[in-house]
Amino acid sequence: MPEEVVRKRLFDNVFVCMNCKAKKRAKPRKVREGKVKCRKCGSKDLRLKSKEDRS
Ligand SMILES: [Zn+2]
């Protein structure tokens, strides 16, 4: 498997808590189903990290 694909896949699974900005790796399907909670504040309001800054 090409390295870019692996890296992209890892990136795709990183979510950021809208509440406290903590990062969390999870399966997108589980996040959509509301099964993933922020480990810091317990919020389910997560969004994909990959959409924002790539610096
Ligand atoms: Zn949080």
pLDDT at residue 53, as a whole number: 57
| pLDDT range class, residue 2, cuts 50, 70, 90 | confident
User: What is the 19 CA–ligand 1 centroid distance (Å)?
Assistant: 5
What pTM, to 2 d.p., does this model score? 0.70
Cα torsion for 20, 26, 31, 35, to the nearest 10°?
-100
How many structural domains does the chain have?
Answer: 1
User: What is the 23 CA–ligand 1 centroid distance (Å)?
Assistant: 8
- Which residue range is the domain that position 24 belongs to? 3-51
3-state secondary structure of 32: helix
pLDDT at residue 52, as a whole number: 55
**Is residue 23 a contact partner of residue 14, using CB atoms and an 8 Å limit?**
yes
pLDDT in tens, 10-41: 667 899 999 999 999 999 999 999 999 999 99
CATH label of the domain that carries residue 40: 2.20.28
User: What is the 18 CA–ligand 1 centroid distance (Å)?
Assistant: 7
